[in-house]
């Protein structure tokens, strides 16, 4: 059995799977995977305060090595559909481009890997010399609570053990073959709250202004660069994202001042180390009648890297052969579900070109879908020695 990556991408795009809605996308994958011999499980996870999310896990083969592909079928909202040249969930092709929400991020990547896997199986007796798996979530664009992180735990509890993983996120900045993500910086989001005492500005002795204390904290946090970066990571950076006092009056000292910031950090830091540094600065800023405190957002993540070795070389060499470009090994960009997968096996990210992801008229060249399928097919063949 084989599959056309362009047709499969169109089918997935035509499923309006705006996070956290399944929209028929997982059902469309299951309809292809089961006839090809994959064992398929559809698993829904729940947690109070978050939407229920349906996920899919599929595997064919029973031995090692085990190559896993990970991705997501949920997409961001299309916005005003009238602004699109082609309807966002129509999957229309025009001038060699396939249009639609999710074509790049990342239904096209899923379709290409599935088509490549099916072609490999068809050429090798219907079974791999090891195992091939797909771990597909519907919660990557959402809070990422009931998706990959829980699906990995679920699979591990069932005895699933992966050797390597490819995440099909759009990793290329300009052209197919530009870049492999071999890691990501960590992310730490924090909220500093300084409680003072409200009062009239003409009688400051009767009040305790929280704003100077908050400014002193932020000044110390940003006084020096966190580091200079290293061979695999760009420098860490701390960005203040908001400062709020909720005070519309010019003659009132406010009761409270709040600041939010995010740190994107490389492997010269850890979450625990950064938290200790922040908490030391916050505690040292306390004044009589003024109490500062810090809290952290849910979902903060450590940095990670899959260091160059045989697996990374296999992927890079294959990309270079198909595209003529030697990919940069990068850890740039934001976070992805690879941050969860790295706890289970070495993971890299390689997919389509990301220039139109999350944008009006998101689209992918049909030629790139064909080329990415060829890359994935050669990777699978070489991984299993076919």
- Catalytically annotated residues: 74, 140
Long-range contacts of 250-253 (CB under 8 A, 24+ apart): 250/201, 251/200, 251/201, 251/202, 252/198, 252/199, 252/200, 252/201, 253/196, 253/197, 253/198, 253/199, 253/200, 253/201, 253/204, 253/207, 253/208, 253/209
Residue 133, helix vs strand vs coil: strand
Q: How far apart (Å, rounded) are the C-alpha atoms in residues 12 and 234? A: 35
C-alpha to C-alpha distance for 183 and 330, rounded to whole angstroms: 7
Whether 287 and 213 have beta carbons less than 8 Å apart is answered as yes
Q: In terms of DSSP bridges, do strands 237-244 and 256-265 run parallel, antiparallel, or are they unpaired?
A: antiparallel
Rounded Cα distance between 308 and 286, Å, is 46
Cα 225 to Cα 303: distance, rounded to the nearest angstrom: 18
The residues, any chain, with a CB within 8 Å of residue 361's CB and separated by 6 or more, are: 84, 85, 86, 99
- 76: its two tokens: 């961001």
Token reading at 48: 């109070």
């Amino acid at each position: 059995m084989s599959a056309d990556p362009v047709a499969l991408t169109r089918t997935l795009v035509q499923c309006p799977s705006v996070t956290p809605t399944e929209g028929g996308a997982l059902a469309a994958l299951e309809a292809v995977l089961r006839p090809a011999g994959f064992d398929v499980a559809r698993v829904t996870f729940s947690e109070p305060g978050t939407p229920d999310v349906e996920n899919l896990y599929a595997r064919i083969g029973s031995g090692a090595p085990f190559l896993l592909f990970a991705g997501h079928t949920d997409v961001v909202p299309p916005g005003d559909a009238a602004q699109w040249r082609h309807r966002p969930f129509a999957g229309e092709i025009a001038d060699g481009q396939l249009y639609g929400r999710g074509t790049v991020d990342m239904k096209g990547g899923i379709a290409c890997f599935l088509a490549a896997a099916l072609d490999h199986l068809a050429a090798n007796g219907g079974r791999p010399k090891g195992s091939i798996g797909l771990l597909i979530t519907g919660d990557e664009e959402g809070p990422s609570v009931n998706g990959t992180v829980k699906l990995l735990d679920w699979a591990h509890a069932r005895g699933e053990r992966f050797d390597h993983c490819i995440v099909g996120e759009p990793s290329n900045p300009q052209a197919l073959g530009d870049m492999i993500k071999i890691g990501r910086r960590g992310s730490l989001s924090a909220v500093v709250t300084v409680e003072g005492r409200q009062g009239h500005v003409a009688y400051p002795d009767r009040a305790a202004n929280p704003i100077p204390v908050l400014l002193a904290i932020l000044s110390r946090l940003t006084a020096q660069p966190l580091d200079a970066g290293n061979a695999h990571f760009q420098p860490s950076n701390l960005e203040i994202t908001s400062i709020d006092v909720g005070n519309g009056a010019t003659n009132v000292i406010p009761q409270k001042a709040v600041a939010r910031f995010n740190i994107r950090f490389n492997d010269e830091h850890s979450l625990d180390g950064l938290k200790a540094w922040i908490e030391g600065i916050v505690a040292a800023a306390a004044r009589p009648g003024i109490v500062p405190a810090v809290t952290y957002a849910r979902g903060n993540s450590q940095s990670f890297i899959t260091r160059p070795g045989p697996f990374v070389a296999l992927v890079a060499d294959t990309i270079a052969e198909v595209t003529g470009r030697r990919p940069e090994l990068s850890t740039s960009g934001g976070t992805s579900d690879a941050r969860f997968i790295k706890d289970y096996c070495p993971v890299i990210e390689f997919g389509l070109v990301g220039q139109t992801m999350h944008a009006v008229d998101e689209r992918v060249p049909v030629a790139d879908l064909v080329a990415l399928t060829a890359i994935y097919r050669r990777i699978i063949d070489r991984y299993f020695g076919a």
